[in-house]
Structure 1
Amino acid sequence: AYGKDNDIEDHRLLGIAMRILHDNALLHPKQIEGVLPDSDLHNQVERISITPITLSLEEVSKLWGTFQTQYRISAAYQVSVVLIESAQAVKAPLPVLSRGEPNLNNGRDSGIAIQPDLTSSFPTLETLQTPNQQPSLRLGENLTLRGHHLDSEETIVVEFRHPRLSQAIQLTPKPGATATTLEVELPVDGNQWLAGFYTVTVGVKRNGKQQVTNALSFSLAPKIEEMTISTATGNQQQLTLTCNPPVWLGKPDNSSVILGQQVGFLLSDRELLPLSEFLPSVTTTSSDPSPDQKTNSLVFDITGIAAGDYWVRLRVDGVDSLLVNRTVTPPVFYSTEKLTVSG
């Protein structure tokens, strides 16, 4: 507001301006046309509104600093944005003839699908549950899959994928499956399987269409079945263990580099690697393991380990064999995971 050097004139001028804006909070199209006769702004659907706003002292100071002049008494207003309509021609879509697949009996459309709640209409996996809340699953145990829309018009297929296997392993759920819960039992025979991390999906057929759920991950733990200690040449003590499922390990000819899965034997505070001379020979560089490159027998050098009892674990691709028995209360260690080293 600009007046004479007298502040009273400034206040009067500002008051008149504020009164005018208060009386004209909404600009009528005729008012806009009178000021801007050559514009089509008055034809817009949206009306221009003028609303007073409050600015902080810092904001007012910055504003007058931009003007590069002495501060004067001020009032701030917000003017709404005008919706500008395009003058270009628009494309008009064709009318809808049918919604969904036509009914083969009467030729009519199937109509829209109605979902009475916020649940997705697609088959979805939400959680995976291992027995007794174990951190990992083992062969021969049941995996419970929970979600929604898991029912199918045909046989349900549960697919397991491992990053080291090119082909998915397919299983069918146990009897008693519902639309929200499936239970699948992993076979005891581990020839098809590898320890490590898997992703699981469920394939169903609904309304004549094949659908696949989202993927969830779980870990398959190796199981130590037997451990024996023997003395080799030079008083070297060797530990031989058998495990399930077999591990994919191999040694190329004339090389000490071990190919395949990452395997370690955790004994006390040590991690032992399998002896390469007892591993099967690798004749191919293919990333997909062949049956002759798998072994369920591993040999480790335990020379120098002090006599005593040790709780041990077999680690394959970052997944440890289960050490804690959660089927009893309170939990205890599995006796099969105990190794006795004699002096």
Structure 2
Amino acid sequence: MSNYGAIAAVTQALQNMLTAGLRKVDSDPAPGGVTTEPLDKLAAQDGNPALNLHLYQILPNAHWRSMDIPWKVKPGETGHAPLALDLRYLLTATKPATAQRDLGIGMRVLHDNPVIDPGGAAINPFERARVSMQPLSLDDMEKLWTGVSAPRLLSVAYEVSVVLIESEVPTRSALPVLTRGTGSPDSIEVQAGLSPQYPTIERIEVGDRNFDTWLRNGSKPSRTDAQINDKIFIYGQGLISSAKAIVGSLLHPRKSGPLDLIANDRGGLTLDLALPEFRATNIPAGPCSIVLQIEREKQKEDDIGIIDSTNAMTFSFAPTITSIAPHALSIPGDIVVEFAPPLVNDQAVALIIGNRQVRPKNGVPAAGDSFVVFRLEVVDADSPEEIGLGKYPVRLRVDDVNSVVVDLEKKILSSERPTFSSAFVVEVKK
């Protein structure tokens, strides 16, 4: 994502491209290469550079004007939309003697490079800046030169779209929903309706800990984010019948190959897959999917062995916070969070304190990191008098998957409601 330096970075990138294009034709172009002066600073004399690039208008981009940032805001969260801009430039040939040739060189360079990546503080690859010619009528061109004492020079207009400048207002992240209603049941099951002769995964449930038992006793939806040492229960049709062996392949978009896990028959239509700690280091946090390979029993000795594959069913593998320090701090202050599994390349990390997202203090963490330092500048307050003081649950987000803030092992009576674990709570003090 870009910051306040994006406009200058785009202008600099265009200027560098045009200068390089001129040097391919002239080994020593005019002094200064390509300038970015306003039109009233230009004068028709031989000492001028061959081309001038003038940013004459900045417009809001209608498409991105009220859109959230896809990689920063999840469903149910609210965030400030980025400042989306279209930049309009006037490319002018400043030497009358070679104006048509010089302008042709510049136009060819921009035509050959329709997409620019200024790098540094500029555009995220999700939405790169595109360069296109912007036809102007004679009347519009005349308006640009109005008030300029120098003669009208040969010019052509271009538009660069879109330049996104990220808002510095933090995204607000709602706390997780622990219960839905008071009745039972509060979820709806939908059957896939596929033929039972094909093995089909219909749904996945996560966990068999005390919190998960409380959910099932209340007919509430189970957890969807698995952690280290969790079990995954797989429900479907054709999974057990005549099965000799079942292997689950866990697929992760950041892993080059599948991770095989042995499935155990729990009877009926249910299987369970364990995520043991010694294998969990091979599973990065983030969205995953499971596919089962089912080896069937031979009906006759000379039968050919059959291995069926199911559909892929998605779930999430959540990071596990192992320690937070300190548990009480004054703002502004640093929080060190240790977690598992370690990060892999280019994973997005954020700390959510209450409903405010905090980015890593030292930029993007490196692959293999298992702790990150976050700088807490401000938190949300329940009232103006409190100025954000109080206790806040803490979650770690890796690739859009949040850690669990509930104590999964605590026994919960039927009359109780789950609470956030004190191990994942930070107190903000004066």
Shorter-chain TM-score: which interval?
A: 0.5 to 0.7
Counterpart of 1:221 in structure 2 is 318
1:186 CA displacement: 0.6
The answer to which of 268-277 and 119-128 deviates more is: 268-277
Which one of 320, 331, 340 corresponds to residue 418 of structure 2? 331
1:278-315 C-alpha deviation (Å, 9 max, x unpaired):
833xxxxxxxxxxxx22111111124555532111111
Name the CA distance, whole Å, in 1 between partners of 2:201 and 2:364: 42
1:143 CA displacement: 0.6
1:194 CA displacement: 1.0
1:116-144 C-alpha deviation (Å, 9 max, x unpaired):
x9842122111111122123111111110
Which one of 254, 257, 262 corresponds to residue 172 of structure 1? 262
Give the direction of change, closer, same or farther, for the CA distance of 1:340–1:121 in structure 2 (3 Å limit). Answer: same
Give the direction of change, closer, same or farther, for the CA distance of 1:309–1:236 in structure 2 (3 Å limit). Answer: closer
Give the direction of change, closer, same or farther, for the CA distance of 1:263–1:210 in structure 2 (3 Å limit). Answer: same
Q: Secondary structure at the match of 2:417?
A: coil
Q: Aligned Cα RMSD in Å?
A: 2.7
Give the direction of change, closer, same or farther, for the CA distance of 1:160–1:303 in structure 2 (3 Å limit). Answer: same
The amino acid of 1:336's aligned partner reads A
The amino acid of 2:324's aligned partner reads M
Which runs of no fewer than 5 residues in structure 2 stay unpaired?
A: 1-192, 213-221, 299-304, 380-387
1:246-300 C-alpha deviation (Å, 9 max, x unpaired):
2225xxxxxxxxxx111111113321111336833xxxxxxxxxxxx22111111
Give the direction of change, closer, same or farther, for the CA distance of 1:315–1:165 in structure 2 (3 Å limit). Answer: same
CA contact (8 A) 2:327 2:426 kept: no
How many pairs does the alignment contain?
Answer: 201
Name the CA distance, whole Å, in 1 between partners of 2:369 and 2:324: 15
1:239 CA displacement: 0.9
Q: Secondary structure at the match of 1:310?
A: strand
The alignment status of 1:201 with 2:291, answered yes or no, reads yes
1:191 CA displacement: 1.5
Give the direction of change, closer, same or farther, for the CA distance of 1:204–1:278 in structure 2 (3 Å limit). Answer: closer
The alignment status of 1:238 with 2:331, answered yes or no, reads no
Larger of the two Rg values belongs to structure: 1
The alignment status of 1:248 with 2:344, answered yes or no, reads yes
Name the CA distance, whole Å, in 1 between partners of 2:194 and 2:352: 48
The amino acid of 1:160's aligned partner reads L
Correspondences of 1:21-32 after superposition (within 5 Å): none
Name the CA distance, whole Å, in 1 between partners of 2:282 and 2:342: 9
Counterpart of 2:9 in structure 1 is none
The alignment status of 1:124 with 2:211, answered yes or no, reads no
1:325 CA displacement: 4.3
- What is the TM-score normalised by the length of structure 1? 0.53
CA contact (8 A) 1:225 1:336 kept: no
CA contact (8 A) 2:246 2:292 kept: yes
Name the CA distance, whole Å, in 1 between partners of 2:343 and 2:254: 11
Counterpart of 1:182 in structure 2 is 271
The amino acid of 1:279's aligned partner reads P
CA contact (8 A) 1:200 1:217 kept: yes
1:47-81 C-alpha deviation (Å, 9 max, x unpaired):
xxxxxxxxxxxxxxxxxxxxxxxxxxxxxxxxxxx
Counterpart of 1:271 in structure 2 is 357
CA contact (8 A) 1:195 1:317 kept: yes
Q: Secondary structure at the match of 1:332?
A: coil
CA contact (8 A) 2:361 2:374 kept: yes
1:236 CA displacement: 6.5
Which one of 227, 234, 238 corresponds to residue 138 of structure 1? 227
The amino acid of 2:371's aligned partner reads S
Name the CA distance, whole Å, in 2 between partners of 1:278 and 1:214: 35
